[in-house]
Amino acid sequence: MKRIIALAAIAAAVCSCGTANIVSHAPAKVGIVAHRGYWNCDQAGYAQNSVASLKAAQDAGFWGSEFDVQLTKDGVVVSNHDKEYGPEKMIIADYTYDELARYPLPNGEKLPTLDDYLIQGAKSSKTVLVLEFKKQRTDEATIMLVDKSMEILKRHGLYDPQRVIFISFSQVACERVISKHPQFEVQYLMGNMSSGKLKKKGYTGADYNAAFYTAEPGLIKNLHKKGLKANVWTVDSEKKMRKLNAHGIDQITTNNPMGARQVIGSREHRK
Ligand code: MG
CB 242 within 8 A of CB 260: no
For residue 252, give the 3-state DSSP assignment.
Answer: strand
Give distance in angstroms: CA of 120 to centre of ligand 1.
18
- Measured N-to-C along each axis, helices 51-60 and 114-121 cross at an angle, to the nearest 10 degrees, of 20
Query: pLDDT per position in the chain (271 positions), as tens?
Result: 444 444 444 434 333 333 333 344 444 699 999 999 999 999 999 999 999 999 999 999 999 999 999 999 999 999 999 999 999 999 999 999 999 999 999 999 999 999 999 999 999 999 999 999 999 999 999 999 999 999 999 999 999 999 999 999 999 999 999 999 999 999 999 999 999 999 999 999 999 999 999 999 999 999 999 999 999 999 999 999 999 999 999 999 999 999 999 999 999 999 8
Helices and strands counted in the chain (H then E): 11, 11
- Cα 45 to averaged position of ligand 1 atoms, centre (Å): 19
CA of 96 to the centre of ligand 1 (A): 22
pTM above 0.85, yes or no: yes
Whole-number pLDDT of residue 271:
87
* Spatial distance between the Cα atoms of 140 and 12, rounded to a whole number of angstroms: 60
Predicted local confidence at residue 28, as pLDDT:
64
Task: Compute, in angstroms, the gap from residue 66 CA to the centroid of ligand 1.
Answer: 6
- Report the separation in Å between the CA atom of 82 and the middle of ligand 1, taken as the mean of its atom positions: 9
